[in-house]
Amino acid sequence: MKKIALALAAVLSAFALWMPPTQAVDLGQGEQIFGNNCAACHIGGGNVVNGAKTLKQTDLEKYDMASIEAIATQVTNGKNAMPAFKGRLSNDDIADVAAYVLSQAEQGW
């Protein structure tokens, strides 16, 4: 549990360098956004469209997606079957959901 807390603290610290100083990550908001926009395809960190590319830590690492920046870019721009959420979600919402996804992956969903 301590390792998870330390890893999350490191992620949030790195994220603080990436985001504007006035923005704070809200994992609760990220969870709500995920539930409303992502869970239909990614329930429990899975992927109903491509089962090989889940949101599980091992797959995020395998596909160089194990960072808030990479996840936020994917959410913003979409890729392959995943739609872009730019214009549908605010930058703050995208940052929150990216932080939530990485947090959940680190905890094993």
Q: What is the pLDDT of residues 65-92, one digit of tens each?
A: 999 999 999 999 999 999 999 999 999 9
At the topology level, CATH places domain 2-106 in Cytochrome Bc1 Complex; Chain D, domain 2 (1.10.760)
Q: What pLDDT, on a 0 to 100 scale, did the predictor assign at position 2?
A: 57
Residue bearing tokens 């549908």: 88
| CA angle centred on 2, ends 63 and 43, rounded to 5° | 45
Measure the CA–CA gap between 56 and 12, rounded to whole angstroms.
18
Give strand pairing partners of 79. 82
Q: What pLDDT, on a 0 to 100 scale, did the predictor assign at position 22?
A: 45
Q: Is the pTM of this model over 0.85?
A: no
